[in-house]
Chains A and B, each alone.
Chain A
């Protein structure tokens, strides 16, 4: 093959890449909460099936990323699962699209079945360090937490209050990873979005309340936070249409089916 042919192919491939291989669709990018990410992706999939001219991309990163991405414009919609939005989010328009319980989870083989809020506080602060202090086996408690920018973590620490995470707590960077870590370690305890519970882990009762839909709706289970979708300026056009879809009966049904709570109840 002559050098000229190679060069030509090179150039063709380059322009192919740069200028795209399909007609460019309109794009909406969501970024932020890893707790809501799987749901956002599912909703996006369903929405795109009815609308062919729009592409919706979902990135993760945590609630703090969601707020910043919405502020800086790198995402059209920021996802944040916080009990209360911080001051820098004031200039964003927030829409509640779901509510989510935070479950305290342990390994399925762990004999513990319930904890009080004070016990949870003590465990995460490092005041209680062994399962036997709670009536379980003689084994050190491995505390697993999210990174500082996580909405789940901020919400957890705000609701439980006075939590100063023990220095040697393991840090993982998404709800899913916490689930995996707890599922693999019989002595671990962590917190994650109620919507992510599966058979690999066991959710504990908190103050006698199960982290179920009923107790959350009844207001009995306290570890709950709303899921906000944040937009810079008033939502308009495609963004508004997608938000409307999420808030519609169909969108809320999807949210309910997959483990979150609807925005209103």
Chain B
């Protein structure tokens, strides 16, 4: 290091940072430059609100896919968020710390299981159950929501536990001293204090759900169809990109990049909400 000197190191680091940021910028600009012109040429309203996705006839309406992504994510949130928060509460407030310290990493380990495995189980176990007991083809919006709900559990549980544990013990002690039961303390004091962290965990889970591709392709059916019921087959934005990208050319390919831009914007919105929620927690 003496050979290079402090100034040299500074320059090298600056160069590295520059390269990294340029690489990331390259991707962002690439996607935008392929997708944005399409949106302007085709028309934003037609793109977002038309239900006809027929590339052969140059029709690129992604409304059914937007509906599918929103519904699947919403379903995942309804199933995964309450379950996740409940588990987080149980593990932090009712279970001895030592037990929690074993269970929490185990649950976090499950976040590492590849999504194709979840998808496979969805196809082999979940879809037949839905088909036999609830009707429809089994490969459906419901199957997608359930699988995604399970997939976001580790995220929600882990981050919620962190937030709940961050609530100062004095809060709980004060409440208990006033005669409240443990549960009253939890829902009147602890949850309120940990609220922004819990919300952030749910939003991060949602982000993962919206971005999921493989599991959804395997269990949701992939029809370009606005779902009428949870038993209908649907295609999400991500599945659409994956199914069509290998052979899409010209306008079709640009439409897929434009879908990417829409997803980009969605993530930016989600992230902004999450960072606002997290900042609130820090202020405390």
Question: Is there any pair of Cβ atoms, one from A and one from B, under 8 angstroms apart in the complex?
Answer: yes
With A168-B233, A170-B139, A188-B137 given, is the CB distance from A148 to B222 under 8 Å?
A: no
Q: Bound state CA distance, A171 and B139, in angstroms?
A: 10
In the complex, whether A29 has a CB less than 8 A from a CB of chain B is: no
In the complex, whether B128 has a CB less than 8 A from a CB of chain A is: yes
In the complex, whether B225 has a CB less than 8 A from a CB of chain A is: yes
For chain B, residues 127 to 162, give those with C-beta under 8 angstroms from any C-beta of chain A. 127-128, 131, 136-139
Which B residue sits closest to A59, measured CB to CB? B246
Residues of B within 8 A of A184 (CB): 123, 127-128
Chain A interface main SS type:
mixed
Q: Bound state CA distance, A171 and B246, in angstroms?
A: 16
Q: Bound state CA distance, A149 and B252, in angstroms?
A: 12
Q: Bound state CA distance, A142 and B244, in angstroms?
A: 22
With A142-B137, A168-B232, A170-B233 given, is the CB distance from A61 to B246 under 8 Å?
A: yes
Residues of A within 8 A of B137 (CB): 142, 170, 185, 187-188
Let me know if B221 and A61 touch, CB within 8 A: no
Let me know if A168 and B247 touch, CB within 8 A: no
In the complex, whether B243 has a CB less than 8 A from a CB of chain A is: yes
Task: Kindly identify which residue among A62, A167, A170, A188 contacts B247, using a CB–CB cutoff of 8 Å.
Answer: A62
In the complex, whether A123 has a CB less than 8 A from a CB of chain B is: no
Chain B 114-134 interface 0/1 with A at a Cβ cutoff of 8 Å (1 = within): 000000000100011001000
Which B residue sits closest to A141, measured CB to CB? B137
Let me know if B223 and A171 touch, CB within 8 A: yes
Q: Bound state CA distance, A39 and B250, in angstroms?
A: 31
Q: How far is the CB of B251 from chain A (nearest CB, A)?
A: 14
In the complex, whether A68 has a CB less than 8 A from a CB of chain B is: yes
Closest 8 CB pairs of A and B: A64-B247, A149-B247, A171-B222, A142-B137, A61-B246, A167-B225, A65-B246, A65-B247
